[in-house]
Structure 1
């Protein structure tokens, strides 16, 4: 019989809805004739993207990785994101038998609005953490990047209404920026800075496999080619180098990649081809 330690954590996919972004922005210098084969655009050149989070039950901790965009976007901002779909953070938690009160930890890969928005609720005009029993985790390097003097390209993604209530709650804590730092028994964290400074990537032991929550390092399966980096990446050459490194590790160790923004593919493994590392198999967590 396998021990609970060898089997690892319990994982639950938490879908929080869909949104749209400009396809050219999502793929940078890659021509539309190429990227549209994997990520088709609508008549306005917008690609549909998921906001797929992950709930991890690890011993006595219930850890939510990212929170989606939430439900408090202003009327002015909503047209830019084209929110749609029937999934919500609360409904997806309930589907698996959880409520917001059950969550002990909220691990935020980074503080862009589509990852942190659901961490704060607007309760009749009062902003407060959505998970009242949880500790919220980021790291000091990224927090300062987002709040002290955010750059002109990125500051529109760092909304005060998503960040200040977390700080004011006294429940915000910082993680040491060190690759392989142990967050919980079955979660180790790795750090990359091409997309944004000190983005955190959890590697989770699950059913004798390693599931890599790859966040915006590889937003969709269509972004696996090294040169396919988004215009949203602050340091594209660094993002390419980091992607190359982590995909080589995924290939070597047969990691399962958990895709946060792919509207179709939840998870994939990778293989080496004559064109580089590409998708091997696609599947859902429940198929593991």
Structure 2
């Protein structure tokens, strides 16, 4: 007996998680589309619900990398478009972080494998150059600055030389060390030299006081004094050490990676930038 084919077919969709906590709930789902829907339209229809500009995804359809998708540019097919006639169709979106989607499409269209780690390594120098250009634009066009005037003056008092200061990032040198301060959501992050952050702090004013204290400690040590002054430490900030990491609990957030940084955090708690200058000056 003849049975007419269903007028729709299933898309079985899933995606990578993008961060810790994003995998608590499954991303797998099923959508129905009319039979004959174009592949490009089907990919757009089931695209990730995370609509973050600058994020790239590779749509793998029935095991084959079929397209690069981004909220900025939509679907860029890596295969010829076609009408979908049979289902179910398996669609998995692989997360390629903040690799530029146009650059990513160009590489994959040339035949490179969709190896995220290898492509991230290729793209890293371009990303750094673009990020720095964006910071320079923000520094030039926006009035806001990450650090307060009081903090900047205090750091200069200790010999810091500023090379960039925008609303979301600041760079300076001190005693041949390159320092970078960034706003990361609500966190005040500090980097010194290469690698990851040496401190993640909150609130912002506390982060500024800590930063002044770190330079003050360096100057004291260079001049032959004890790096840390003999000053009252607030009992309200309790730090816990686990391996080489010191952390806090409560509204004041501390994540640091040295005993000196932890001690400076305890001195900075409850003090302003100007008060830290008074405490650390010799």
TM-score, L = length of structure 1? 0.20
Question: Taking CA–CA contacts closer than 8 Å with sequence separation of 6 or more, which of the two structures ends up with the larger relative contact order?
Answer: 1
TM-score, L = length of structure 2? 0.20
Choose 1 or 2 for highest CA Rg.
2
